[in-house]
Structure 1
């Protein structure tokens, strides 16, 4: 079992063998997704989390026994305990499970159990997998197929981030950060890109590429890999897989003329050529990266039997995933968006989308680096990506699961940006960005941490600015 802090794997175990299942950290977006699917499939579920998160009330309403705070007693009569990589080994509920000899699964193993017997589409990549998973699910639904799905973010258009569908198709976001995507057994894989990231786990870029090779090797001979040819890492992965014995079907998607699924990108309306036909991609989410995501998702849906015309047309109603260039509001003609981008490539894509949407007006960014290790590895690249903005303010690093690393601060990023870019105080940064923005401009909050909360603060500051002007 890769990338977990647990001792016993699920193997090919299905849901019927798990008994009552207890989730440690049930409020997390990935954990709640698995719990939601299990509840829908008749599994008795309980769970706990350190904080009382909104999704916990939803799960309780569906029948789960949910507790705020961790304690050995919360495990109750569970026969299986599920925990994600963020749960520390000394969590009292994990200690109680070990003491009782219960089956302990990583979140990915629990999801694998829920997917047992399904035709699984696993979407992986350093960036873009949440949006691509969402698009795949959306287009399958739009074509009249009803897949099960589990996505690592809330999808406003879908209403939930997970559901148990009526067909045997299961679409899942496959997390590469700790190699837990190797616990799945997909029929189709979509790989959006392969770049160095999560080096706190992998150590080297070579290890990241090796993990994706192992992921691709999970495909059966009658399976299919869809890899984005616009990304050098994904294209190289596809080429290596094609040389393997008993290789599955390998298809490239992208803008190059030699691909199997070709995107002809135009901000006013992109099209995709696949299987001898051309279809319009009526995207409402901006950027070339989203057109590429849609092409991979479209091809997967068609391979699974979706009507191509209906699948493509359904994109007109797809509004995106939460925190993926998500519109937060407008005040005084200034639009505020929020994006989860936390790798330099993602930041560049978010800013390119912002430039396209701004239409010649200014773009201002409030960025929060995520993880000390990532900041150490990519400080110069982050600065290069952020330099595309007119105004930048960089907050202190969001630590997430990490302890501080001596000498690693946000000033590693801002040392390559104009003076004043480092913001030790979020309130001051918000005031400065609101002051710099004019009607028609965009302000973008960027990062995987709690910077998302600053969107509402920015809107309030813009309202106050407007009131003063009047």
Structure 2
């Protein structure tokens, strides 16, 4: 086994260090011996965690934070006008994308890249916890906190490295994986790619990054992923297809049958006729949702291909308890519940609300949705409305711009005008309060979106009079 790269003697400075992806990269670089510093616009538990490990984390962005000898790490969200980015460019310092830094940290290991428009955080988390449970001791970079680790990063002694592979900016093309696990290729990020065809083309480019002797594992219940599987097989790549036969667009190698869902669990049997060996295993999850069973099937197949015993993979998947902001339980009060979810694409919204319906049953389901990106909101407005219609009360607040500048004349009413009864409440705190007021005993409120909406769950609880918070707990910036 090739040894991981020793980065001692190098200094990396991460702009936006407290973000889910960047904080994981910071931990991994630190574990490889590098000196690590960084900054973010606001303090956070993530920065506290990095400081506790011995890294320097500044609040606010300023040119004086940047050591002239440091390699600067940025994500696509960092604008050129950021003072640290600007001074780095002015000095001619090395500036690399966070995916390049992650690839550095993973050198010398078997790289498992988990890609797809939806499900990559959960699936990479499942695979990490299953391999950990099986005693493999992997390293990992998951874009959300795994409760068992208290972080999205894990630095292990084994030779397997698991990471999310981000298609949004094409940065997954910086990786050279041994395993590519693609959950789906449903069109997204059309502001960058422009068409379904272009979006699928970048996944074919990603496939070309697969190392010789590697494998593509993909869910053929999704049309784009099924096309990628055919494309890969025609070019001589090893392909493992998984899915339910009745829902798949091609014959799956790993067959998912007997899928059952409960409010807090799900299960199915996965069967793989692998040459002369018939592998069959009951997979039981401590998280609900049909989509999570499919995610688990992909993780199971990947682990078995890597040499893990099928029963050990199944046992390990049972140990998975979810990730932060993926159907995350945030509290219960006076017979009502709050769950927070990262869903920000219509397919994800529909899956999350279906999952919520299994929890609340015939009870009242309310959703406070914060759209993410102006371009995505405009592209999928009608589909968002259709997905949100699964809730009894729908409140949509202002769009979270993230890396984009506002589009003149565009607000969240592009969604609500397609959904009679839906309310547009620009301020997310007021939206949360209204959802709490409209949700009767036995009901459930979901706060949903990829932006700052996660902050308002305490506002909902506060409105119900139990352990909540007022405006002072929420940063609406």
- Give SS of 1:177's match: coil
Q: 1:65-89 CA distances to partner (integer Å, 9 max, x unpaired)?
A: 2222222222215341111111111
- Give SS of 1:266's match: strand
Q: 1:373 pairs with 375, 380, 387, which one?
A: 375
Paired residues for 1:79-98 under 5 Å: 79-98=70-89
Between Structure 1 and Structure 2, the one with more strand by share is 2
**1:267: which partner in 2?**
261
CA spacing shift, 1:324–1:119, aligned 2, 3 Å: same
Which moved further from structure 2: 130-139 or 389-398? Answer: 389-398
- What CA distance in whole angstroms lies between the structure 1 residues aligned with 2:391 and 2:11? 51
Q: CA deviation at 1:356?
A: 1.4
- Give SS of 1:153's match: strand
Q: Does 1:194 align with 2:185?
A: yes
Q: 2:287 pairs with 256, 277, 285, which one?
A: 285
What CA RMSD, in Å, does the superposition of the two structures yield over aligned residues?
2.0
CA spacing shift, 1:65–1:453, aligned 2, 3 Å: closer
Q: 1:252 pairs with 235, 241, 251, which one?
A: 241
- What CA distance in whole angstroms lies between the structure 2 residues aligned with 1:131 and 1:399? 24
**1:460: which partner in 2?**
462
- What CA distance in whole angstroms lies between the structure 2 residues aligned with 1:348 and 1:15? 44
Q: 1:8-54 CA distances to partner (integer Å, 9 max, x unpaired)?
A: xxxxx955498211112211111111110111121111112222222
**1:348: which partner in 2?**
350
Q: CA deviation at 1:219?
A: 1.0
Which moved further from structure 2: 419-428 or 441-450? Answer: 419-428
**1:135: which partner in 2?**
126
- Give SS of 2:186's match: coil
- Unmatched 5+ stretches in structure 1: 1-12, 466-470
Q: CA deviation at 1:314?
A: 2.3
- Give SS of 2:270's match: strand
Whether the 8 Å CA contact 1:217–1:241 is kept in 2: the answer is no
Paired residues for 1:120-131 under 5 Å: 120-131=111-122
Paired residues for 1:44-443 under 5 Å: 44-244=35-235, 247-256=236-245, 258-264=251-257, 265-268=259-262, 269-274=267-272, 275=274, 276-443=278-445
- What CA distance in whole angstroms lies between the structure 1 residues aligned with 2:460 and 2:7? 49
**1:448: which partner in 2?**
450
CA spacing shift, 1:200–1:158, aligned 2, 3 Å: same
- What CA distance in whole angstroms lies between the structure 1 residues aligned with 2:68 and 2:37? 10
**1:4: which partner in 2?**
none
Q: Return the TM-score normalized by structure 1.
A: 0.92
CA spacing shift, 1:378–1:409, aligned 2, 3 Å: same
Q: CA deviation at 1:184?
A: 0.3
Whether the 8 Å CA contact 2:139–2:162 is kept in 1: the answer is yes
- What CA distance in whole angstroms lies between the structure 2 residues aligned with 1:352 and 1:419? 20
Q: 1:227-276 CA distances to partner (integer Å, 9 max, x unpaired)?
A: 111111111111111111xx321011111262111222111532211241
Q: CA deviation at 1:437?
A: 2.2
- Give SS of 2:79's match: coil
- What CA distance in whole angstroms lies between the structure 1 residues aligned with 2:15 and 2:444? 39
- What CA distance in whole angstroms lies between the structure 2 residues aligned with 1:17 and 1:108? 19
- What CA distance in whole angstroms lies between the structure 1 residues aligned with 2:269 and 2:150? 27
**1:5: which partner in 2?**
none
- Unmatched 5+ stretches in structure 2: 468-477
- Give SS of 1:315's match: helix
- Give SS of 1:210's match: helix
CA spacing shift, 1:86–1:425, aligned 2, 3 Å: closer
- What CA distance in whole angstroms lies between the structure 1 residues aligned with 2:56 and 2:419? 50
Which moved further from structure 2: 420-429 or 403-412? Answer: 420-429
- What CA distance in whole angstroms lies between the structure 1 residues aligned with 2:415 and 2:400? 14
- What CA distance in whole angstroms lies between the structure 1 residues aligned with 2:434 and 2:86? 48
- What CA distance in whole angstroms lies between the structure 1 residues aligned with 2:240 and 2:416? 41
Q: Return the TM-score normalized by structure 2.
A: 0.91
Count matched residues.
452
- What CA distance in whole angstroms lies between the structure 2 residues aligned with 1:406 and 1:320? 38
Q: CA deviation at 1:94?
A: 2.2
- What CA distance in whole angstroms lies between the structure 1 residues aligned with 2:141 and 2:158? 14
Whether the 8 Å CA contact 1:132–1:297 is kept in 2: the answer is yes
Q: CA deviation at 1:101?
A: 2.8
- What CA distance in whole angstroms lies between the structure 2 residues aligned with 1:77 and 1:407? 43
CA spacing shift, 1:200–1:299, aligned 2, 3 Å: same
Q: CA deviation at 1:147?
A: 0.5
CA spacing shift, 1:15–1:437, aligned 2, 3 Å: same
Whether the 8 Å CA contact 1:40–1:163 is kept in 2: the answer is no
